[in-house]
Chains A and B, each alone.
Chain A
């Protein structure tokens, strides 16, 4: 097979002679960009340039790491498991006798002792384990426009909510599996005064959700209508809920879709073991610690079943610092990286000292 390709231009090479000056010259422009002459910087990594960087990084990171580690260690945290798995646990009965339809709430009380006083604001979390809030189907099972207060979506929830979109031909508000499985234990804290009195600790229900969630993402239908009950007219409560959505809180600003407990729950956790902010105990005025050392008891209205999936329920008390909750990892990481840097710097210095000069001369002349 002889391959000589035929193309049209071949035969008119000499015919297409353009008049002089008629055509613009096809000479490429002499610009820095087109000629690839733009200034460029390529770091040349030699011991000389890297050494100072290593030492600086080392010297910077180690203090930061130590600072982070200390801050994290200063955070006080107390955790109590109230699932009631053991027979000895006070909530054992409640966990055993759970049924979806029981109208009488089961309560249990767990005593605990705080060895240190908790200053400043104390955050109360509930924690769940082995709860897959990150399940692909579960995560999607919500209707954001309904939660935003869209009246159309209120009556016609998105298909994503199925099978929690309609119940007995009425639209569910809020629809979906996330809302349906909302955490509904009630936690109360009591301080057992050494003098024998039992003082209930005031738990703040507001300020636990993100501002954007509460004011932007979530909204009640008919925002301005004073009567929330009327706004939710024609809808039904999620199957697992005891109370309808417009009856979550007495406070009008914390009711309906903008109930903060609800909002917190709707922000799904990424891992099966998670904690969610439940309440905030505000700092008392003066020098009195928010939670003084001593005996406390946790009163639980036990509604939320976790035994079926071998889950655990916890209550966590924690203070926070400027860098958030307790987490020593970052501090340790900083210290490690800093130390490695410093160590490598020293090693490089040795190498540089031993080989650098010899190399420069010997290399060229050999």
Chain B
């Protein structure tokens, strides 16, 4: 049991004092699933920090790692790391190797890999048999030489690939970092980093190994990390060192550190860590996952951080999680293998029949009678030898050339993919790349597409795009309905439109003159004041460090409009409103949570008034508006507009507070904030008291920019009958929002949202939905299924798997949000196993690697910073929209051509080698025959095809004919589309035609559209609470540096 193990571990570490409480907890909570909640609470206990772990939803990963740990044998032995001293035990070094072969191991390993392939084994067998004299009717080397050739080519390919891996490993191993060695900071390369080293990592650098934070440049040893390489979450995570060590900042302090760090052995759970720091002359302090920085993460928004290395090299969590890329085989290859097997059986049967025949012949034609043959003591009369002889004789039935030919064909196809100009992204100078060539034809048969959201569908750049203030909208309104016409299928815009910045002169004018000017000013003030962003002064301006990209975009937007957020002190926010510096005293931060869907600040304005600024989702804000609030309808209409465009909206409101009421509230708040039981919930209730009678100011619209051509591509792919599932680690609202903006979900669609937190509830919900679908279950409906990671955990359990799959397959679109990397690959695996269809996974981050490797075809988005998805993918493209050409053109062509090639190879071999015995006639006979035979053979095909074409023409054929006659096929296509069903390639040609959204009424069990594309990304219940974080900064002062 998960938590029992933990309890024991802590016990062995001798934490007597804590142990008692822990035991108590353990006896309360027998549900192992809650183990992590427990552990979170534990850390809370230890640190005496305000608890914020209950309520809200935590990411399913934690639970997942909990469950996986049950399956894992408890093999990890605790390790003890000495600070500033030589380690007593030897740990794995920080050298990382991802190569397949060494110099010595290459040959045996490579040969083993090759011979494991059935065809190679067969040819080796034939080649060996041919070495027996008198058995082989063919030459000795007819099989051996081609086989050696094939193996050599494959070997060279492997060597090149492995060499690349070696080189890449070396680059990583030779990266430099700063380590405290022999009393001074020394720059050393990564592979020399050892357990127990004190390492300093500066902003923007990647962490060389897993380490425990000692101190950082930020207050209270905080630091931000970007862990998208590990889990794909894009918002920055705050990690915090122990307050015990936070003061160890200077070199002398660090040299003076002595003691021991105990922690569990290396394991693969990204979200778990237990350890104890025993500094000399200090009480032992517990360490949890919040104190750990993992290899693969990047330090952000933090000048520097100092940490003690605990896991290095292959012990690090990142490496523990890495899996060998599985060998993927395409469907065609599988079928080909089957056919080869069938051919082998035919061959055996043929050989058997032939040798029986030979035996009979030998019996009839005895040695005495056939005096001219002289077969005395000849092996040709031996049945077994004859069998071998015939196998060798007929071995050409299994085409050895097929393998080579296929390799060459596929390699060329891969080259064509690499060479495709239309899949070249000029901005990052990235052409498409086929990293494996053996899946080309698979691309043409994709039926299910699993896509990541961030970085794949979106650019992961937020922009303040529009706003509505006091009933007036500002910002650009680009033409929405600019569908690409048929002929520009290939010419995708090379770069997305550049109107990224909010730019509307009317707003600037209106600030000055318009009647709504005060509201506008207030609105912009809220934008500049109500947030958790930390400003950082650089030589040329201010850099905003936001853990939530939305907030960053808003603050930046306000800055652009003359409301510059300049500095933050623990008690105030300083802004420069149109050149005038104003200081807002920050009294309270009413934190954001996904339950509340809003965040507020209580400030004292420079004029001395008490005011509450609030921003949040439209529905929660509108609920709390006063009757007197204006512009409700107008704003609502504008929000609707924004949402249709797929923008992320936030409503802004304010209320002036009465001094006495506030003081009263403050008292209550102070009491509640020290309550131990259900504090978070009580706090929320407390916040509620203040957030009422709001006055609406307006709303902002932030664009989570989609990559160029994403909606069009999705529409095309959906028309090609490819089902698209979006699997994202992001929040539900964001995911739905993106679903709308990329037109995966249309407004005519009903959403089925499944958010449950127990197996039974999930079961009930799934069954209810399934039964309400009735007959249409299993068919495609105008439905979108939205499910979150927590529920998915239950839905993917063996028991509910089928029900979930039934429901998911009945929906036109499926969006899974807050899923862990593991779940991503589980979903893909489930579809792969239960639906006999080709799956494709596309993603850009390390969190997508699992599904990329699991799916039949994995596509990585390249050109961005992280290359991990690209490196494990089969194809890499720079933009999502290139998928269209990759699948519908290259895939379809490859499939067509490869299958033709395979069939031809079989045909050729059968014809060539079975008819081999027949001798070519001489002179005229031969030449006349040469004309006759093909004519006679083609006759049937020609007649059949011509007849079919005349009698019943398919659309494709019709288009071909028209094209041949240089007539525009558009008319035929259009007319046809109205009536007949189109085949896949015809779909391609009918892009101009759009299906009208069906308006099928849905049963009431299906939830209707939720709030208007509200979205807000913010780390919740993190190690440092939002208000605490805000309070800890004073950007008017210099930060400590080393």
Question: B368-394 CB contact bits vs A (8 Å, 1 = yes)?
Answer: 111111111010100000000100000
**Contact, CB under 8 Å: B375 / A4:** no
Most chain B CB inside 10 Å of its own CB: which residue of A11, A44, A137: A11
Question: A329-366 CB contact bits vs B (8 Å, 1 = yes)?
Answer: 01001100100110010001001100110010001111
Expressed in whole angstroms, the Cα–Cα distance for A13 and B952 within the complex equals 56
**B867 interface residue, CB < 8 Å from A?**
yes
Question: B944-976 CB contact bits vs A (8 Å, 1 = yes)?
Answer: 011101111100011011001000000010011
Name the segment of A30-38, A118-126, A197-205, A294-302 touching the other chain: A30-38
Contacts of A9 in B (CB 8 A): 168, 171, 867-868, 870-871
Chain A contact patch, size range? 35 or more
- Known contacts A11-B172, A28-B424, A270-B919: A6-B96 contact under CB 8 Å: yes
Contacts of B325 in A (CB 8 A): 5
- Known contacts A7-B867, A35-B420: A2-B426 contact under CB 8 Å: no
Enumerate B162-178 residues with CB–CB distance to A below 8 Å.
Answer: 165, 168-172, 175
Chain B contact patch, size range? 35 or more
Expressed in whole angstroms, the Cα–Cα distance for A352 and B946 within the complex equals 9
Contacts of A64 in B (CB 8 A): 928
Question: B972-1015 CB contact bits vs A (8 Å, 1 = yes)?
Answer: 10011001100000000000000000000000000000000000
**Contact, CB under 8 Å: B229 / A10:** yes
**Contact, CB under 8 Å: A3 / B865:** no
**B198 interface residue, CB < 8 Å from A?**
no
**Contact, CB under 8 Å: B868 / A4:** yes
**Contact, CB under 8 Å: B866 / A13:** yes
Expressed in whole angstroms, the Cα–Cα distance for A30 and B421 within the complex equals 7
**B739 interface residue, CB < 8 Å from A?**
no
What residue in chain B is nearest A139 (Cβ atoms)? Answer: B137
**Contact, CB under 8 Å: B957 / A356:** no
**Contact, CB under 8 Å: A4 / B322:** yes
**Contact, CB under 8 Å: B98 / A337:** no
Out of B323, B373, B420, name the residue touching A5 (CB < 8 Å).
B323
What residue in chain B is nearest A51 (Cβ atoms)? Answer: B946
Expressed in whole angstroms, the Cα–Cα distance for A344 and B368 within the complex equals 56
- Known contacts A351-B950, A359-B951: A364-B976 contact under CB 8 Å: yes
Contacts of A45 in B (CB 8 A): 942, 945-946, 949
Name the segment of A150-158, A166-174, A216-224, A303-311 touching the other chain: A303-311
Out of B429, B871, B939, name the residue touching A7 (CB < 8 Å).
B871
Expressed in whole angstroms, the Cα–Cα distance for A150 and B951 within the complex equals 69
**Contact, CB under 8 Å: A344 / B943:** yes
Out of A10, A135, A340, A365, name the residue touching B867 (CB < 8 Å).
A10
**B270 interface residue, CB < 8 Å from A?**
yes
Contacts of B64 in A (CB 8 A): 2
Expressed in whole angstroms, the Cα–Cα distance for A365 and B888 within the complex equals 28
**A68 interface residue, CB < 8 Å from B?**
yes
**A323 interface residue, CB < 8 Å from B?**
yes
Expressed in whole angstroms, the Cα–Cα distance for A138 and B374 within the complex equals 8
**Contact, CB under 8 Å: B923 / A163:** no
Expressed in whole angstroms, the Cα–Cα distance for A25 and B952 within the complex equals 49
Shortest distance from the beta carbon of B646 to any chain A beta carbon, whole Å: 28
Question: A14-44 CB contact bits vs B (8 Å, 1 = yes)?
Answer: 1100000001011111100011100000101
Most chain A CB inside 10 Å of its own CB: which residue of B820, B867, B917, B952: B867
- Known contacts A7-B98, A11-B172, A27-B431: A1-B822 contact under CB 8 Å: yes
Expressed in whole angstroms, the Cα–Cα distance for A8 and B958 within the complex equals 51
**Contact, CB under 8 Å: B365 / A309:** yes
**Contact, CB under 8 Å: A4 / B953:** no
**A243 interface residue, CB < 8 Å from B?**
no
Expressed in whole angstroms, the Cα–Cα distance for A365 and B373 within the complex equals 74
**Contact, CB under 8 Å: B268 / A2:** yes
Contacts of B593 in A (CB 8 A): none
**A131 interface residue, CB < 8 Å from B?**
yes
Contacts of B323 in A (CB 8 A): 1, 3-5
Most chain B CB inside 10 Å of its own CB: which residue of A5, A49, A344, A355: A5
Subset of 11 A-B contacts with CB under 8 Å: A1-B323, A2-B68, A7-B98, A8-B169, A29-B421, A45-B942, A47-B946, A138-B372, A181-B372, A305-B371, A309-B369
Interface residues of B (CB under 8 A from A): 64, 68, 96, 98, 134, 137, 165, 168-172, 175, 204, 206, 229-230, 268, 270, 296, 318-319, 321-323, 325, 365, 368-376, 378, 380, 389, 416, 418-421, 424, 426, 429-431, 820-822, 825, 846-847, 849-850, 853-854, 864-868, 870-872, 917, 919, 921-925, 928-929, 932, 935-936, 939, 942-943, 945-947, 949-953, 957-958, 960-961, 964, 972, 975-976, 979-980
CB-CB nearest 4 A-B residue pairs: A8-B168, A181-B372, A3-B850, A6-B322
Interface residues of A (CB under 8 A from B): 1-15, 23, 25-30, 34-36, 42, 44-47, 49-51, 53-54, 57, 61, 64, 68, 131-132, 135-138, 141, 163-164, 177, 180-181, 270, 305, 308-310, 322-324, 327, 330, 333-334, 337, 340-341, 344, 348, 351-352, 355-356, 359, 363-366
Besides A7-B872, A12-B172, A137-B134, 5 more A-B contacts (Cβ < 8 Å) are A2-B850, A3-B321, A44-B957, A181-B371, A323-B923
